[in-house]
Amino acid sequence: MSLRPVKEIRESKPTLEGAGVQLRRAFGFGNTTEFDPFLLLDDFRNDNPDAYLAGFPWHPHRGIETITYVLAGTVEHGDSLGNRGRMGAGDVQWMTAGRGILHQEMPKGDDQGKMHGFQLWSNLPSSLKMTAPRYQDISARDIPEVTDDDGTRVRVVSGDFWGKTGPVEGVASEPRYLDVSVPPGQKKRLAVDRSRNAFAYVFAGSGTFRDASEPRAVLTEGAGPNDNPRYEQTGNRSLVLFDRGDEIVIQAGDEGIGFLLVSGKPIEEPVAWYGPIVMNTREELQQAYAELRAGTFITK
């Protein structure tokens, strides 16, 4: 087994999306080749309802899949196909936009006003960009969870891991989407398919990711604009991009660490991207927006 070196560590950036939702963007909009097939990861969490209640009103998607994972609070959603629903803590919605869909997502928070979730965008290959839209709504109780002898807990949203198979299926990039929790002070090795691009996004606790030579800690949020970067055992809202290899190693800090571990098969196709629509060529992108203006974007 070969250890995946840490290629890059970055802090997610404050971003406004939708009708004014305050969130943190780990990556997206720009050169995302190293994350292929993934295009974007947003972390939407806040204890102040004013920061998220405006939500993400009606908007289009084509050529991608969106994966929404809720940790706290609720998200109400609807779409142009007539689907309506609500996601709660632990639930996942995997939406294949395919040839086109209009939808909205409205965060509501929990009884204390807390809202926390993630949205990941995964690209579709050219052969599937105009496929029929579909939803996979996954309840928290249907997501398998496995706990190792040392207390490490993993929820398997998609893919196979430790003898469990996630409920999301039929996805082009064959992704593995894991929610991992490592107890305080534990060192853990986790297998990752060598042929996949892989990243971790830390959302709780602290820890140190190790590469083939020495530990790589995540950048603390406390560094000011005039300070030199400080590397400490803190990981909240930090993204870790891995190079090739068969496994990663994480050393949990005193509070333990919680992170998403996501990997997928690269599509390796040209990307033409503007807003919520991702195609292969500029001409396809222009055609999509022409259909939006003409009212022919949605087809039965």
Please state which of the ranges 134-143, 177-186, 188-197, 223-232 shows the lowest mean pLDDT: 223-232
Q: What is the pLDDT of residues 174-200, one digit of tens each?
A: 899 999 999 999 999 999 999 999 999
Residue 266, domain member (yes or no): yes
For residue 115, tell me if it sits in a domain.
yes
- Predicted confidence band of residue 261 (pLDDT cuts 50, 70, 90): very high
Residue 78 located in a structural domain: yes
* Coil, strand or helix at 175: coil
How far is it, in rounded angstroms, from Cα 198 to Cα 66?
Answer: 17
CA distance 300 to 72: 35
Contact status, residue 41 vs residue 26, Cβ threshold 8 Å: yes
> How many domains does the chain contain in total?
1
Residue 18 is assigned to a structural domain of this protein: yes
Residue 300, domain member (yes or no): no
Per-residue pLDDT tens digits for 35-50: 999 999 999 999 999 9
The answer as to whether 299 is a domain residue is: no
Q: Determine how many CB atoms are found less than 10 A away from the CB of residue 207.
A: 31
Residue in this structure with the two tokens 């999301």, named with its chain if needed: 168
Cα–Cα dist 89/71, whole Å: 5
Within-domain flag for 113: yes
How confident is the model over 111-129, as pLDDT tens digits? 999 999 999 999 999 999 9
Round the average pLDDT of the chain to a whole number and report it. Answer: 90
pLDDT confidence of residue 211: 60
Q: Residue 232 is part of a domain; what is its CATH number?
A: 2.60.120.10
Is residue 1 domain-resident? no
State the residue range of the domain holding 178: 6-294
The least confident of 63-72, 228-237, 252-261 is 228-237
